[in-house]
Amino acid sequence: MRNTRMGAPLLLAGMLLSVFYVGWGANASFAQQSKSNGSQSSTSDSGKSMSKATAPDASLIIPGKSIGHLRLGDSQQQFSEFFPALDVSNSEVTYPCVNGTNITELHWLDLDATIHGEVVAYLQERRVFEISSSTSQFRTKDGITAGTKPEEVRQKYPDVEAFWLANSRDLASQTRDFVYWVDTRQGIAFEFYYDQYLKERRVSGIYVFEQGKDFIRRGCLWHPKNWHKLAPYSLEPPSEGGSN
């Protein structure tokens, strides 16, 4: 009787121990599988991030060709793919130009860059013929971007013409018209505004257009008589003289 009573607890203990090991083994297997899946998911996500971060020309302005992934000649659909609109109702506007053609502007607002701005594509017959950037996210291979000083632009682009758009006083300063430095051969133009706090001109926008063609701001001059040529590298129109 004594041996029988002692054997029952031992048998029960053995059964419980077996159940414990089976359960522990299953949990360990599940944990290992989850860790493996998590590792694969992490690697996959990391791969996606790496691919996106190292995508070629993602933030590069190439004269006569492109801004970021958007190239001259691209369609409206391609613009939407590269620059998803934050608000569709405010991202597109079409208007007639003085020469009888219609211009469509597609806007993408960038709030993540150091200097907030936007990328704008100008289309005729559903194709991009001009692109502009006023955000510091995009820059030339020389590092020129929104906020760059004129001296830096002059060092990198020694063959530019200067223009003044009369009656174009920007909303930021309300004191001086925009001035443009244009390199027709390369297909790039730099727009300069006057910073009333720094008391100097800075790049406010960079335009890319077809090489060898005349630069037309936004593809349409509402008042052609307001477009005046200045001496090379001029930063102030004669009427303003830098004294305002």
Q: Work out whether strand 60-62 and strand 139-140 pair parallel, antiparallel, or are unpaired.
A: parallel
Residue 125: other Cβ atoms inside 10 A: 8
Cα of 31 vs its chain's centroid, Å: 42
Cα of 36 vs its chain's centroid, Å: 36
pTM flag (> 0.85): no
Q: Does domain 60-230 have CATH number 3.40.720?
A: no
Distance CA 16, CA 29 (A): 20
For the chain, give every domain's residue range: 1-54, 60-230
Q: Mind listing the pLDDT tens digit of every residue in the chain (244 residues)?
A: 444 444 444 333 343 334 333 343 434 333 344 333 444 433 333 333 323 333 557 899 999 999 999 999 999 999 988 887 665 444 788 988 877 889 999 999 887 767 678 999 999 999 999 999 999 999 999 999 999 999 999 999 999 999 999 888 765 556 789 999 999 999 999 999 998 888 999 999 999 999 999 998 888 876 778 899 999 999 998 865 443 3
State the pLDDT at residue 172.
55
Q: Which of 155, 154, 156, 140 is nearest to 205 (CA)?
A: 140
Tracing tokens 């001035």 back to the chain, one arrives at 179
